[in-house]
Amino acid sequence: MTENNLNYDQWKKVLAEHGQEHVLGHWPKLTAREREGLCQQLNEIDFVELGDLLAGQDETTDFKALAMRAASPPAVLADGSGADWSPAEARERGEEALKQGEFGAVIVAGGQGTRLGFDQPKGMFSIGPVSGRTLFQFFVDRLLAVNEKYGCCIPLYIMTSEATDEQTRDYFRENDNLGLQPDDLHIFKQGVMPAVDSVNGKLLMDSTSSIALSPDGHGGTVSALERGGCLDDAVRRGIRHLAYIQVDNPLAQLCDPELIGHHLMAASDMTTQVVRKREPMERVGNVVLVDGQVQIIEYSDLPESAATATNEDGSLKLWAGNIAVHMFKLDFLRRVAGEAASLPFHRASKKVPYCDESGKLVHVDQPNAVKFEKFIFDLLPIAKNAFVVESLASEAFAPVKNAAGARTDTPETARKAITDLHRGWLEEAGVCVDQGVQVEINPRVALSAGDLHEKIEPNLRISADQYFDSRLES
């Protein structure tokens, strides 16, 4: 009996037990290499977990009922109110923690970016309005600037997926790690989940020898950080907290000292940055307090009556919109990484092309499949002292989700937000920027408006698009 046959027999038994034996339907016609690939995929699937999901045993949360009990979360507001400490004290504490090397950075970049329609990993998308810098460059420049300013050396952990891993690694290798020391950059891959037929729960195949697998959601970060050795690496470096952002928000304030300071002053396991919702039914997750726990209720789960409820002054009761910028105590992540069930799966109905019994690929125009994903923000309810920090969208949130031409969250809206923010910094420092001119400031020149004051030439006038890379003359 060959090793493949042995694997075949074993898998046949396991698959039969779970009603998935069709996966081996084309086995006799597969090459040795294809068989090996299929077995590798099967190894990545937890069939007991999948069985529970298919049986619906995990579905316990009644979000609508939760929403009716939801209140505003404990938060420091953008004007600095709401906490027992001032923004200045928070900043000082954050700066100290950065100088002590207590922080590492995590960027999740495993998503498939289907809405943007870019055929490379989103991190490689050019977003700089004048410089054309990529999203990855934006964040690495920012980290290098923070390193320079505070004399620290923040390691960067980038999560990729099967869809983005190879190109991301090539990109960093071919571009000298964008200036990071090799030891300070760790690229690690997230796990996968199979897509199943929404009618009968059967695993979908994308070819005769391959199961349709997709990334397990940004909630997969926790176990992937552990599997990839990043949590151990962070411990080895004496890191105590990780700052987390998603790759598609070029304004994300990665390792901002004030934000870090609030997280530390609140002695929080997990702190999340939010922006005020522009409208009650805005399509963002709502950060709320329910029964003493901070958690996120997706806009789709929030009844209109809860979304539109107001305080006496007319402001929204549930005002805090999730922007997916979080800070975690490392010990908290290490603890939850060991608890397999710490994050629930969410279901999404998707269109997934599949290979039928005859081996033909069938394209679909209606959702035919269920995908399972974990969400990182589901850690909030189990975090001790979970805390919320409000920021202004104009300073912290410009997501790149949709392709050009869509109404919101496009590359154009993000580029405009970058140039508007930097124009504001320049004007605050006394610079005159002509109407219609685009400006962009590299973080190594200034991480905030305050940094510019020290460096700016008096009476500078900018009348053509300009990227401030290292010098500030026009």
Does residue 474 belong to the site contacting ligand UTP (CB under 6 A)? Answer: no
By beta carbon distance, the residue nearest ligand UTP is 111
Does residue 280 belong to the site contacting ligand UTP (CB under 6 A)? Answer: no
Pick the binder of ligand UTP from 30, 53, 247, 264 (CB under 6 A): 247
Does residue 321 belong to the site contacting ligand UTP (CB under 6 A)? Answer: no
Pick the binder of ligand UTP from 147, 190, 273, 322 (CB under 6 A): 190
Minimal distance, residue 401 CB to ligand UTP, in Å? 6
Q: Pick the piece of the chain touching ligand UTP (CB under 6 A) from 31-39, 78-86, 242-250, 455-463.
A: 242-250
Sign of the alpha-carbon dihedral angle for 447, 269, 87, 99: negative
Distance (Å, whole) CA 367 – CA 453: 54
Distance (Å, whole) CA 396 – CA 387: 17
Does residue 113 belong to the site contacting ligand UTP (CB under 6 A)? Answer: yes
Pick the binder of ligand UTP from 15, 76, 109, 266 (CB under 6 A): 109
Pick the binder of ligand UTP from 12, 18, 115, 237 (CB under 6 A): 115
Q: Pick the piece of the chain touching ligand UTP (CB under 6 A) from 103-111, 266-274, 297-305, 441-449.
A: 103-111
Minimal distance, residue 231 CB to ligand UTP, in Å? 17
Integer-rounded Cα Rg, in Å, for the chain is 24
Residue with smaller CB distance to ligand UTP, 109 or 456: 109
Does residue 218 belong to the site contacting ligand UTP (CB under 6 A)? Answer: yes
The CA–CA distances, whole Å, from 136 to 22, 104, 194 equal 41, 16, 28
Give the DSSP letter string of 268-282.
Answer: -SEEEEEEE-SSTT-
- Which element (helix H / strand E) includes 194? strand 192-194
Beta bridge partners of residue 295, listed in sequence order: 288
Minimal distance, residue 324 CB to ligand UTP, in Å? 7
Query: What's the longest Cα–Cα distance across the chain?
Result: 83
Find out whether 111 and 120 touch, Cβ atoms under 8 Å: no
Find out whether 294 and 336 touch, Cβ atoms under 8 Å: no
What part of residues 142-181 is at the interface with ligand UTP (CB under 6 A)? Answer: 159, 161
Distance (Å, whole) CA 48 – CA 341: 13
Angle between helices 257-265 and 87-99 (to 10 degrees): 100
Task: Count residues binding ligand UTP (CB under 6 A).
Answer: 21
Q: Pick the piece of the chain touching ligand UTP (CB under 6 A) from 64-72, 243-251, 265-273, 387-395.
A: 243-251
Phi, then psi, of 116 in degrees rounded to 5: -70, -30
Binding mask 375-414 for ligand UTP (x = CB under 6 A): --------------------------x-------------
3-state secondary structure of 224: helix
Return the residue matching tokens 């949130």: 397
Residue with smaller CB distance to ligand UTP, 128 or 217: 217
Distance (Å, whole) CA 458 – CA 450: 15
Pick the binder of ligand UTP from 104, 215, 250, 257 (CB under 6 A): 215
List of residues contacting ligand UTP (CB under 6 A): 108-115, 122, 159, 161, 190, 215-218, 220, 246-248, 401
